[in-house]
Amino acid sequence: MDRQWLESVCEFSCTAAILAPLPGPWAGQGQPPWAHPHVDTWKTSTQIKARLQRRLDGNMTRLKILHHPDPRLRTKATPVDTFDSQLAEFAENMLETMYAAPGIGLAATQVNVHKRVIVVDVSDTKSEAYTLINPVLEPFGAKIQGEEGCLSVPEIYESVERFEQVNVTAQDVNGEPIEFTASGMLAICIQHECDHLEGRLFVDYLSSLKRNRISKKLRERSKTLV
């Protein structure tokens, strides 16, 4: 039996049991009074179930992630101007790839599609995904130092300075406008992923000595995997 399929079934069953609506006076009237004030529980439940059902139906594709120092990671992404079912499917496949890696963010550049698309989910439950098309950032406030890693720079973690808050303007997969303010880990992750769209990696913020050492290490590792 396919282990991935079995794990998906178990995850789907557990999620459905935990998040299924309970009977009560709020039935059919939106989310109940115990719902988390900062999370749309009904929407979260629907997103998880839909993603798992697509996985069970075989409608999810895990994309190949490029690894530094692959020169394609240095390509600057171009804006998305067509919002159709192919874009929506690509975004879902990006999420599947990110979760499977596992990671908390992924840019289209990392899977060799040079369009301005990122996906992010910093939640512990993998249930608060953001799909941002053509994101534009306005960082503000203080800068903080934090350790970062990257799916394109595997097993490498270094301290990077970023803004703690950022105003985000973007579009969803239907082309509808999105605006919100992110802070903390979410803000840092969005900045990290938007760097990819400009052909930048978090290692670019390090000294040349560290960058060269990391590049050499990843080249040697790739040779052992061939």
Give catalytic residue positions: 193
CA angle 67, 80, 203 (to 5 degrees): 30
Distance between CA 108 and CA 193 in Å, rounded? 9
Q: Is the dihedral of CA 174, 175, 177, 182 positive or negative?
A: positive
What are the residues whose beta carbons fall under 8 Å from the beta carbon of 67, sequence distance 6 or more?
152, 153, 154, 218, 222
**What are the distances in angstroms from CA 96 to CA 28, 40, 152, 205?**
31, 21, 16, 28
Burial (Cβ within 10 Å: 0-12, 13-18, ≥19) of residue 10: exposed
